[in-house]
A and B are shown apart, each in its own frame.
Chain A
Amino acid sequence: MTDGMQQIWVYLAAKPLTGLTLTLIAYQAALWLHRKAGGAALLNPVLLAVCVLVGLLYVTGTDYPTYFGGAQFVHFLLGPATVALAVPLYRQFALVRRSALALGSALIIGSLTAAGSAVAIGWALGASKQTLLSLAPKSVTAPIAMGITETLGGLPSLTAVLVILTGILGATLATWILGLVRIRDQRAAGFAIGLASHGIGTARALQMNEVAGAFSGLAMGLNGLATAILLPLLYRLFF
């Protein structure tokens, strides 16, 4: 960067709105590209926006606390956005009630599969115990996952990274995987996406349709609860 550009950046970086503006521009540009590409799963807007922002912070040498000083408004909106997931769920409540048995069974088996398969694959390939404990709750929404990891003795900050990566993976691969195993039921599609890839997956499910979005939001909440209960019990059994 030239000296002039460097000075302009130092000035802008000190302004709290810069982080927010960059975040919004990066996401809007990524969303535009995603739509232009006909909704291509690999061009997931969250993935693209994260890549652009990480690259930008790296190139400009901006530390995370400085960026977050402005971007924390988006973080604040995460709370109301999560609560707003109750709206599609309320609209689909009759459908949820009719599917209660299927959802309960899928929740327990899916929750155990998410944690168990991650630990089993990691263990088979030689991951350390601390890594395995940090991997186990990776399908749960970040605040709950970090709390679970802390209880088990893993690394909460590593879990946070793994949770985000899982969300992006699930959102990117979900439609392809569901097509592969011929899932036509939107309740099943949404519930599986939310359970495996929490909020980022739910954003993808909401783009698919309202039924998938409602069931995805439900799965995200229920899986947080199920994993918080099941994982410490399993840990006491096996370690």
Chain B
Amino acid sequence: MVHLPLLADQAGPIAAALVGSTVLTIIVTALIVQWLARPAGEDPAP
């Protein structure tokens, strides 16, 4: 059972949460790995 009425009723908050959170998670995670895993002595600035 896929709670369609609930999905339809709260489509706005759900869509905003999915898009916002996915974008933010990818940015935060990628920046942390790229910054912390950079070779020693490399300039952290992009």
The B12-46 residues at the A interface (CB cut-off 8 A) are: 12-14, 16-38, 46
Please pick, from A135, A174, A219, the residue contacting B17 in the complex, using a CB distance under 8 A.
A135
Please pick, from A102, A105, A165, A193, the residue contacting B26 in the complex, using a CB distance under 8 A.
A193
Residues of chain A within 8 A (CB-CB) of B3 are 155, 157-158
Q: Which of B13, B26, B33 has the most A CB atoms < 10 Å from its CB? A: B26
Q: How many residues of B contact A (CB 8 A)?
A: 33
Whether A158 contacts B6 by the Cβ 8 Å rule is: yes
Whether B24 contacts A99 by the Cβ 8 Å rule is: no
Q: How many residues of A contact B (CB 8 A)?
A: 54
Assembled-state Cα–Cα distance A174/B6 (Å): 28
Residues of chain A within 8 A (CB-CB) of B27 are 177, 181, 192
Assembled-state Cα–Cα distance A145/B45 (Å): 36
Residues of chain A within 8 A (CB-CB) of B12 are 125
Residues of chain B within 8 A (CB-CB) of A117 are 17, 20-21, 24-25
With A99-B33, A189-B30 as known contacts, state yes or no: A127 contacts B14, CB within 8 Å. yes
Query: DSSP class of A's interface residues: helix, strand, loop or mixed?
Result: helix
Question: Can you list 23 residue pairs at the A/B interface with Cβ under 8 Å?
Answer: A103-B33, A105-B36, A110-B28, A113-B28, A114-B21, A117-B24, A118-B18, A121-B21, A128-B10, A131-B10, A131-B13, A135-B14, A157-B2, A162-B14, A166-B22, A169-B18, A169-B22, A170-B26, A173-B23, A185-B33, A191-B33, A192-B25, A195-B25
Interface residues of B (CB under 8 A from A): 1-3, 6-7, 10, 12-14, 16-38, 46
Q: Give 9 closest A-B pairs by Cβ, nearest first.
A: A102-B36, A110-B29, A192-B30, A125-B13, A188-B33, A118-B21, A102-B37, A188-B34, A127-B13
